[in-house]
Amino acid sequence: MQKQREDKMIYFDNAASSFPKPITVSKAMIRAVNVYGANPGRSGHFLSCMAEKEVFSCRNALADMFNTESENIIFTANCTASINLALKGFLKPKSEVLISDMEHNAVVRPLEKMKDVFVKQVEIDLYDDEKTVENFKNVITNKTSMIAITACSNVIGKITPIEKIGKLCKENNIKFLVDAAQLGGVMPIDIKKCSIDFLALAPHKSLFGVQGLGVLVLNDKIKLDTLIEGGTGTNSESPLMPDFPPERYEAGTIATPAIVALKAGISFIKERGILYIKEYENNLALYTFNLLKDIDAILYTKKIDDTFSGVLPFNIKNATPNLVSDYLDKNGIMTRAGYHCAYPTHKKIGSEKDGAVRLSFTVFNTKEQINVLIKKLVSLSRDIL
């Protein structure tokens, strides 16, 4: 029964965690566990060095992907930990931070906890990037020390104009934190071109890595306060953390199997081509958007253009998102209903009552799968509602 269900399963919850992964990802991970499962950067013996070389190779692949140096790649526990490190490691009391009205709780909650930091919310215009930049420009003051925004909404799929906002940051000497949980692996991001000081990544989403790992990409000149302290395999005679990256921010043993899995995920993206991936996912979203319109579903964007990713929220009239998602689940289609840890976005798009059903695609999804989804939604409306 379980096997049958798995064979027919359609997975549209990739914004929460991508699935399936390329087969090379699990192979790399198994090899790390079975062949060189030693602690990297600690012992100096053959297996420890082998593990460290694999870790370093992943740092290099990420540095190449986001245009920085390998030592500026920091491995953390997850994307949320990366964002916490950037916010709490950089912001001082009385700092002023600008965020958007589409932020995930990974940004909202750490800032809420920092009672002595002033936060202003700025409106993202879903259809006019120039207007969005203007909105930020209008609220910058000489007290603004950081802009912290999502690169792509995990609810509505809107890609924010990070290059233009980065330029604004540079002109005003403001640090720029970008939450790229949904965009890393979907679109090229050059941290120098976009003037990004901190780029937070979720390897288990569109980078096709596995859960249990985060990445923070740092600008060359940034030195943050540490949030956790401990062993690093360097300067052990000192009670202080090293003052250089990445070890300064990587106290304790890092997740080698997840790191080598990420390297395999990056190789997969390179082979497919990141621009191809973006276009493919965008096309699936557009295809679904049009079909959902045909069946009179409730949609939250006027259009899907290339400033949107492969994430699409919807609702069915007279049904709660949970009812729809549960019905789809019973029919082998995985979606996510609710607020998606981003209530401000639901308020913005008008789905704050119950949230929405979210579809999110990767290159492993097909139009045939979407056709099945639409048929099931028609059945739901006809037979249940």
Q: Which residues bind other proteins (CB under 8 A)?
A: 40-42, 44, 49, 52-53, 56, 59-60, 69-71, 232-237, 242, 244, 246-247
- Nearest 5°: the CA angle 124, 342, 275 is 65
In the complex with other proteins, which residue's Cβ is closer, 220 or 305? 220
Spatial distance between the Cα atoms of 164 and 174, rounded to a whole number of angstroms: 13
Least spacing, CB of residue 219 vs other proteins, in Å: 14
Minimum Å gap between C-beta 212 and other proteins is 21
C-beta of 24 vs 39, nearer to other proteins? 39
Q: Are strands 311-315 and 298-299 parallel, antiparallel or unpaired?
A: antiparallel
DSSP-assigned letter for residue 382: I
Q: By 3-state DSSP, what share of the chain in percent is helix, strand and coil, each rounded to 5?
A: 40, 15, 40
Bin 41: left if φ > 0, else alpha if -120 < ψ < 50, else beta.
Answer: left
Q: Return the DSSP state at 178.
A: E
For residues 69 and 326, which CB has a smaller minimum distance to other proteins in the complex? 69
Question: Is the Cβ–Cβ distance between 309 and 15 less than 8 Å?
Answer: no
Residue among 17 and 67 whose Cβ is closer to other proteins = 67
CB 88 → other proteins: shortest distance, Å? Answer: 23
14 Cβ contact list (under 8 Å, min separation 6): 205, 206, 310, 360, 361, 362, 365
Cβ proximity to other proteins, 64 vs 306, nearer residue? 64
- Token look-up 């679109």 returns 187
Closer residue to other proteins in complex, CB, 47/114:
47
**Considering the complex, what minimum distance in angstroms separates the CB of residue 76 from other proteins?**
15
Which residue, 52 or 281, has its beta carbon nearer to other proteins? 52
Q: How far is the CB of 251 from other proteins (least distance, A)?
A: 13
By C-alpha distance, which of 63, 30, 21 is closest to 268?
Answer: 21
Contact in structure between 254 and 232 (CB atoms under 8 Å):
no
Minimum CB distance to other proteins, residue 51 (Å) = 10
Give the integer Cα–Cα distance in Å for 66 and 206: 15
CB of 231 to other proteins, least distance (A): 9
Q: From CA 187, how far away is CA 136, in angstroms rounded?
A: 23
Closer residue to other proteins (CB): 127 or 244: 244
197: number of Cβ within 10 Å: 24
Listed residue (361, 183, 187) closest to 273, CA to CA = 187
> Closest distance between other proteins and the C-beta of residue 268, in Å?
23
The CA radius of gyration of the chain, in Å to the nearest whole number, is 21
Collapsed DSSP state (helix, strand, coil) of residue 223: coil
Residue among 68 and 288 whose Cβ is closer to other proteins: 68
> Which lies closer to other proteins via its Cβ, residue 102 or residue 258?
258
Q: How far is the CB of 252 from other proteins (least distance, A)?
A: 14
Q: How are strands ordered across the β-sheet holding 311-315?
A: 298-299, 311-315, 356-360, 336-338
Q: Shortest Cβ distance from residue 335 to other proteins (Å)?
A: 41
Residue 319 CA to residue 118 CA, distance in Å, equals 39
